[in-house]
Amino acid sequence: MGFPLYNLARSGYRLAPIGGVLIRHGFGYYVTRFRSHAGLPGRLARPDALELVSAPRRFRMVCQELGPTFIKFGQMLSTRADLLPDSWREELRNLTEHVPPFDSAEARRIIESDLKRPIGDLFAEFADTPVAAGSIGQVHHARLKSGEPVVVKVRRPDIEEKVLADLDRLELLAPLADRFDELRPLRIPMIVGEFRRSLMREIDFVSEASFTTKIGEALADDPRVMIPKVHWAFTTSNVLVLERIDGVSFNGREELARMGLDRRRLARDLAEVFLHQYFKSGIFHADPHSGNLLITRDHRIALVDFGMAGRLTSDLRAQLASSFIALTNRDLDIITDIYLEIGALSEDTDVERLKSDLQEALDKYYGIPIRCLDLRAAFSDAMRVARVHGVLLPRDFVLLGKSFVTMVMMAKELDPDFDLAEISKPYALSLVAAKFSPTAVGRDIASQGWYVGQMLRRFPRDMRSLTRKLLNGSLQVTLHLREFEGVLRELDRATNRLAFSILVAAIVIGSSVLLHAKVPPLVETVLPGALGRFFAAHLPEISALGLCGFLFAGVLGMLLAVAIWRSGRL
C-alpha cells in the first residue's frame, strides 16, 4: 500500500531539489502533502509575484528549471490532448531546449571509441562545427570515403546516466502524485512509465535507426517518397550515420513556387504517404512538422528524423479504421465499444453520458465541407470529452492523432480544397475488409484455437490442484480494495502516532517514579538564582536515570508535535 518508505528515505535527497523548485514556483501545496515522507523541504513561502502567473506557465517554468529530462516530459505532456486541457498544452509547447553543443573533440572521441577506428579512416570529411544540437546529442555533416554525404548524430557524453537519474526521480514522485484526488485521473505512474520507455528509446540511436529502416522498407515501393538510408556499419547506441538529404522545407512557399510544384498533387501525395503508414504498415512518423518534411529537387517527399515514431498493431489498426468509418456514419456505439475493447475506459465511466457528450461535441462539425472544417478544433473537442470522462487512450493512438492532425493541416495549407474523406476512406474500408476476409478470420480462429487447446490441456491438472487446496483448507481469495487504501493509510498513520504518544507518556511516568524514589545514580542539583535555592532546600539530589528519561521524552514529544504540524492537520 503506497510507496515503500525505505525507498523514499533512501532517495529523499534526490527529491529535495524538485520540492524546492515546486515551492519556488507556487506549488507548495502539493509539497506539504507528502514532504514528511519524501524528505522534501518544509518552507512554503510563495512570492507574491506568482499570484499573477497562471498555473500552466508556472509548471512550464518548473520543467524548464529542472533540466532536459523534465523539459522532454513537459513536451510529451503537450501532445496528450486526452490528459491536459488546451491552455496547459499550449503553454507546454513553449518548452525549448537551449543546450549549447559540446566540444567537437569529445564528439570525435565518442565516434572513434564506438567505431574502433580513427575519424580519418571512417570519413573523407568531417565538419567539426555541429549543424544542430539538442539535449540528447548533436549533428555533424560528414562525407564517407565513397563520397556520399551523410549526417552524423553523436550522443552527449554521460547523457544516459543523467537521464536515468531524472527518470528515477520521476518514478519516485509518480506514486505520490496519485495520492491527490485532482491528479489521480491523469494516471501519472502510467504516463511516467510510458515516458521512460519513449525516452530510453530516443537516447538509443540503434532504436531510431531501426524505425528509420522499417519505415523506409514499408515505403520502398512508393517512388514519391525518400527515406534516409541508415549506414549500419557506422551506427551504435552513441553514433548514428544517415544519408544526408537536401531539400526544401514544406513551409518554404517561395522556393516551392520556384520549383513549379503542383500544390494540389503534393497535398494528396503527402496524405497518401501518411495514410499508408497509419493503415498499412502500422509504423509511422509521429512528428511530421515542416522541419522533418522536405521536398527534394526531383520533387519527392523526404521524411527525416525518426526520433519520435509510433507503432500500431494489426488489431489497433483495424480498430482505428472502424473508428474512422463509425465516425463518418455517426455511430457512437461502435466508438465506445472500441474504447472498451482497448481498455481506454475505467469501470466508473458512464458510457451513456460519454456517448451523449461525444454526440454534442461532434454535432457542430457534421455537414461542414471538409475545406471549412477546423480539424484541430474537432480533435481538441473530442479530447476534451475524453478528459472529462477519464478516457485514457494508448500512447500510440494519441501520437497518431497528433501526427494525423499535423499532416492534414499541412495538406490544407498546400491545397485549401483538400478533401480528406475522399482520400482516407478507401484506406479504412480496405483495412476493415482485410480484417474480416476469410484468410484473416481463419488465421484468428487458428490462433484462438491454440489458446483453447492449451486451456483444455491444463484443465484437469488445474482442477485437481484447486480441489486439493479446497479440501485441505489452503485455498485463499485475495481482494484488493482501492477505495479503502487512503482510509487504511490514514488509520495506520493515526495508530502509529497514538502508539508513539503512549510511549512518550510511559517514559514520562517512569521518569517521574525514578525521580520520586531517588533511584541511583544520583546527581547534585545545581541551578542558579531562586530556582537553585528552592531545589537545594527541597531536592538536593535527583536521579540521573529519571532526568535522562524526562529529556528523552521531551525530545520525542517535540518530534511528534513537529510531525503533526508538518502534516497540516493539527
Please report, in tens digits, the pLDDT of each residue of the chain (570 residues total): 344 434 444 445 557 777 778 878 777 766 665 554 444 444 444 444 455 567 888 888 888 888 888 888 888 888 777 677 778 888 888 887 677 888 999 999 999 999 999 999 999 999 999 998 888 889 999 999 999 999 999 999 988 888 888 888 888 888 777 777 667 767 788 788 888 888 888 888 999 999 999 999 989 989 999 999 999 999 999 999 999 998 888 777 777 778 878 888 888 898 889 888 888 888 888 888 777 888 888 888 999 888 788 888 777 777 777 776 666 666 777 777 777 777 677 666 777 888 788 777 777 766 666 566 666 677 677 777 777 777 777 777 778 877 888 888 888 888 887 877 778 777 766 666 655 556 655 655 665 665 677 777 788 887 888 888 787 877 777 766 555 666 666 777 778 778 888 888 888 888 888 777 777 777 666 556 665 565 555 556 777 777 788 788 888 888 877 777 766 555
Cα distances (Å, whole numbers) of residue 11 to 18, 30, 118, 172, 281 = 12, 18, 42, 8, 43
Supply the angle between the helices 28-38 and 544-566 in degrees, to the nearest 10: 150
> Could you say which of 166, 204, 269, 287 is catalytic?
287
Is the distance from CB of 20 to CB of 41 less than 8 angstroms? yes
Q: CA 275 to CA 289: how far, in whole Å?
A: 16
With vertex at residue 161, the alpha carbon angle to CA 159 and CA 165, rounded to the nearest 5 degrees, is 115
List 141's β-bridge partners, or say none: 151
Q: CA 558 to CA 562: how far, in whole Å?
A: 6
Is the distance from CB of 17 to CB of 500 less than 8 angstroms? no
The reported pLDDT for the residue numbered 126 is 94
The reported pLDDT for the residue numbered 9 is 44
C-alpha cell at 500: 508513539
Cα distances (Å, whole numbers) of residue 233 to 107, 144, 236, 448, 539 = 18, 12, 9, 42, 89
The reported pLDDT for the residue numbered 441 is 54
The reported pLDDT for the residue numbered 175 is 79
Q: How many CB atoms lie within 10 A of CB 166?
A: 20
Q: CA 392 to CA 518: how far, in whole Å?
A: 69
C-alpha cell at 24: 519556488
With vertex at residue 76, the alpha carbon angle to CA 71 and CA 81, rounded to the nearest 5 degrees, is 135
Question: Active-site residue 287, yes or no?
Answer: yes
Q: CA 273 to CA 66: how far, in whole Å?
A: 38
The stretches of 26-182 forming alpha helices (DSSP H) are: 28-38, 55-66, 68-77, 86-92, 104-115, 119-122, 159-177
Name the residue type at position 526. Answer: V
